[in-house]
Chains A and B, each alone.
Chain A
Amino acid sequence: MSQTHRYDVIVIGGGHNGLVNAAYLARAGKKVVVLERRHLVGGAAVTEEIYPGFKFSVFSYVVSLLRPEVIRDLNLPGHGLEILPLESTVTPMFNGDYLAGWADHDKTRAEYVRHSRRDADAYDEYGKLMHHMAMAVKPILAMVPPDPTSLAPSDLRGLLKLGKHFADLSPKHFHALYKLMTMSAGDFLDEWFETDVIKATRSASGIIGTFMGPRTPGSAYVLLHHYMGEIDGAFRAWGFAKGGTGAISESIASAARSFGAEVRLEAPVTHVIVKGGKATGVALENGNEYHAPVVVTSLDPKRTFLKMLSPSDLPAEFVEDIKRYKIRGSSGKVNLALSGLPEFTCLPGVGPLHRGAVSISPSMEYVERAYDDAKYGNFSRRPYADIIFPSVIDPGMAPPGKHVMSAFVQYAPSSITGGWDATKREAFGDAVIDAIATFAPNIRDLILHRQVLTPQDIEDITGLTEGNIFQGELALHQLFFLRPAPGWAKFRTPVAGLYQCGSGTHPGGGIMGAGGRLAALEILKDTGSRL
């Protein structure tokens, strides 16, 4: 016998944005239920004990963009959120040297001087420019994208605000912003730095989560996207969450529950129920139905609109736009349980290096060639990796004296020739270990357990289409008023009562919570409720 349940709002998916959305709506007095397919909340922000005693931040592994207003409004520290600093980034080089960015400014400057006196000077000026750029873009993060083709008063007000904001930029900053929006990360960095390894390491943040190389136009914007966490002044929340990334999701879920929201686990939604052009609820795999006048999807646009709705419920043009939406997965993950910490030949011993990130990006050519492999349908034979040792920062992640290592890896294309299978997955894992062993040869002797995740695995476990961590690439043609589709960037959808709040909406991916919050504010506006 199937059961029916009635709510004010149903949120599909218990990832961070779904939970943020539910928390804000519950706080405003709505009767909210979150339906999560898996046995735990978090989506791609989960901590799981994959190997006994070792906790992995399985997918997403650091936090930098979580919006201060979300942390504050939901009192996440009161619900257990603790963000621990990640101190440094060290890039081992092929010649046995290394490049380091340390927590201390003078120490980092001294390190840059070692590579290039010019670059050490540029480092300060570049930082200042990126700060201004981030300040210029920041108001947009907290804004519902106005439609530039619309004459509706709310759109005009938004456009006016935006126009005034950009008019206030100095010409120098406006030009720099234009360059950032159009150039490749590599070309943009060429204008600032001469040292190859500095450019390689910095440009790496321009390719994370995208199917672009450091020389692909548009990648410079992604640099800026990752810089955004830097502008929140003292509120800066950049680092590693105690207990792993899942602890962030748990804290948001705890906040949501404290406001009265229900979070149901192992409740996979099969489709959205649409009657007379209106969403009226959802159906679960077990046949149960949940009914509510408002349904919010936190899933990626393709999964929502192409799998959970019938094409007949949607305008054909919209379906085409969603089909065109670029969501190519480009990254994989290798998580290791280790009996000790690997020693990097460039900085022997166990030391400060292990407290921060290690970037496998020894040269621009290395990173670009890694992309070349992916372009032609292969995983990178010598991949780029961003490595951290969570157990060094939070000893609770592994048994005393033992460690966990997280390696975010590119490129692992979702569209690999012939499709992913177990053999290719392990070959990809081997390539990652080989790349790390080039600089830390003893890593092989320390591995107790290896978890390799391809984009296919990411999709199978989390449901993210093509395993794309941002629910769609952060390319200019699908940002702001174009995310996820022209005319539908304001968290609403062509189906009345159906809203979207995931990373596939403005302002995009990363553990930000902005989409979840902005969608909640729009829903409250439409239902005539107050926050």
Chain B
Amino acid sequence: MLYALAEATPRMLKTTPFHPRTSALCEGQNWRRWAGYVAASSYDLTHEREYFAIRNSAALLDVSPLYKYHVTGPDAARLLDRVVTRDVGRAAEGQVLYTTWCDGDGKVLDDGTVARLGDDRFRLTAADPNYRWLGDNARGLAVDIDDVSDTIAALALQGPNARVILEAATGASLAALKFFRLTTAVINGVPVTITRTGYTGDLGYEIWLDNAGALAVWDALMAEGAPHGIVPTGLLALDIARIEAGLLLLDVDYVSARRALIEPQKSTPMELGLGWSVSELKESFNGHRAMRAEAKRGAEWKFVGIEVDWPSLEELFAAKGLAPRLPAQAVRASIPLYDINSGEQAGYASSTCWSPILKRYIGLAHLQARFATPDTRLHMEVTVEHHRKRALAHVRRLPFFDPPRKRA
């Protein structure tokens, strides 16, 4: 017998507080799941215009599904310093830190940001749920952990025109707001926190607010953004921008140590190119012994950029009478990389895409350290008409795209 599923059980997929606006705009009905929410993959039928908004004008993204935790109390900094690899105690009020956090063996659990909202008030953002992990680490500390994932809405406004739009919407100058700093403002009567952060490698901001003000803030940004080319943007465009910016993604570029089934699936911060985020000053934090030992002997794996040589790819396709065709979307499949001489596997690319702005076929790759020097020649597997071929590829430094405006 049929029964009303929706009434009998809690709704499985949640919608964000911006849903009344985003759903009306989503012409392609192209949605993706993100942390239990539905999130727009693209609003237009294709994501090309949204991608170019990130690089050429301004893109407005609903990033509310991020996990968010408020950590408050006299020991808030101590708790975070025990968990994450960056030095939270030395962060200034109004500073935002990008950081990873690890298990006791120094293997990465997750990555996100820590914003110091006040002396003993912090907001941690994460890709995965971390409530239990924070709680386990808080034993004996005077700290409150509040899961605000469902009550704080968030927007990312990214692109060269992001500042002028946000200044118009807030009526305040943002010239003094430096990269990875935060400020407070009011948009359309709604108090918001603005962080100069993002996942695009471009000039951009993220805007944090209580759910209740969501639509008022969305409407104000869209109205002020219209003369500056604002475009509601989905995750497909973001995926390309973040590869160009060399930013990794949990579950795509690495597996959380929490979910890894076998040891080789786990990574250390150094293996993910995030050795810089491991504090050298802090005394004790989760996994610090393993991380410091690795720092001394060097990581076995490196996280680098990879660029496929276009003439080499053209040749492989031309042999079949074709021009090279690449998926318009970023590819999230693991692709083998080989030593050009011996043919042995040197590593793998975990994210690849055609960069429309750079006009290059690029990827993020894990390589055994000895193959990871920039400009090293490798082979990457490509499938041409159902046949596995190898195209020439070069190791590149990350990020691929790093405009001065990102920090200016």
User: Residues on A close to B: CB < 8 A?
Assistant: 68, 71-72, 76-77, 82, 84-85, 87, 102-104, 106-107, 135, 231-235, 237, 242, 355, 392, 394-395, 400-401
Q: A82-B56, A234-B324 are in contact. Are A77 and B357 (CB under 8 A)?
A: yes
Q: Are A84 and B52 in contact (CB under 8 A)?
A: yes
Stretch at the interface among B43-51, B119-127, B169-177: B43-51
Q: Report yes or no: B49 in contact with A77, Cβ–Cβ below 8 A.
A: no
Name the contact of B45 in the complex, choosing from A106, A135, A232, A401 (C-beta under 8 A).
A106
- Chain B residues, Cβ within 8 Å of A68: 310, 359
Question: Do the beta carbons of A77 and B310 come within 8 Å of each other?
Answer: no
Smallest distance from the beta carbon of A230 to chain B beta carbons, Å?
Answer: 9
- CB-based contact A72/B310 at 8 Å: yes
| Residues of chain A lying within 8 A (CB to CB) of residue B326 | 233-234
Q: Report the 10 A-B pairs with minimum CB-CB distance, sorted nearest first.
A: A233-B323, A400-B227, A104-B45, A234-B326, A395-B229, A401-B227, A233-B324, A77-B358, A234-B354, A85-B48
> B56 to A242, Cβ gap below 8 A?
yes
Kindly report which residue of chain A lies nearest to residue B401, judged by CB atoms.
A77
Check: B317 CB closer than 8 A to any chain A CB: yes
- Cross-chain contact B52 with A71 (CB below 8 angstroms): no
Chain B residues with CB below 8 A from A103, complex form: 44-46, 48-49
- How many Å lie between the Cα of A232 and that of B324 in the bound state? 7
A400, B45: Cα distance in complex, Å = 27
- Asked if A72 and B359 sit within 8 Å, CB to CB, the answer is yes
Scoring B residues 311 to 327 as 1 if CB is less than 8 Å from chain A, else 0, what string do you get? 00000010001111110
A235 to B326, CA, bound (A): 9
Identify the closest chain A residue to B45 (Cβ).
A104
Are A395 and B57 within 8 A (Cβ)? Answer: yes
Number of A-B contacts (CB under 8 A): 67
Which of B49, B57, B324 is close to A87, meaning CB atoms less than 8 Å apart? Answer: B49
A-B contact pairs, 29 of them (CB 8 A): A72-B359, A77-B357, A77-B358, A77-B359, A77-B360, A82-B357, A84-B56, A85-B49, A85-B52, A87-B48, A102-B45, A103-B45, A103-B46, A103-B49, A106-B45, A107-B45, A233-B317, A233-B323, A234-B325, A234-B354, A234-B361, A235-B324, A235-B359, A242-B56, A355-B49, A392-B229, A394-B57, A395-B57, A395-B227
A107 to B, closest residue via Cβ: B45
A106–B323 alpha-carbon span in the complex (Å): 23
Interface size on B, residues (CB 8 A): 28
A232 contacts which of B321, B323, B361 (Cβ < 8 Å)?
Answer: B323
Known interface pairs A233-B324, A233-B326, A395-B227; 5 further A-B residue pairs with C-beta atoms within 8 A, sorted by A's residue number: A77-B359, A87-B48, A234-B361, A235-B310, A395-B228
What distance in Å separates the Cβ of A94 from its nearest Cβ neighbour in chain B? 29
A87–B51 Cα distance when bound, in Å, is 13
Residues on B with beta carbons closer than 8 Å to the beta carbon of A84: 52, 56
A413 to chain B, nearest CB (A): 38
CB proximity of A173 to chain B, nearest CB, Å: 11
B161 within 8 A of A: yes
Interface residue B288 (Cβ < 8 Å from any Cβ of A): no
Residues of A within 8 A of B302 (CB): none
**Nearest A-chain residue to B324, judged by Cβ:** A233
Cβ < 8 Å to A, chain B residues 12-68? 44-46, 48-49, 52, 55-57
Q: Shortest CB–CB separation between residue A106 and chain B, in angstroms?
A: 7
Docked complex Cα distance between A135 and B314 (Å): 13
Give A82 to B357 CA distance when docked, in angstroms: 6
- A394, B56: Cβ atoms closer than 8 Å: yes
| Nearest-CB residue, chain B, relative to A394 | B56
User: Which B residues lie within 8 Å of A135 (CB)?
Assistant: 321, 323
In the assembled complex, the CB of A420 is this many whole angstroms from the nearest CB of chain B, namely: 37
Which of A103, A233, A394 has most chain B Cβ within 10 Å?
Answer: A233
What separation, in Å, do the CA atoms of A401 and B227 have in the docked complex?
Answer: 5
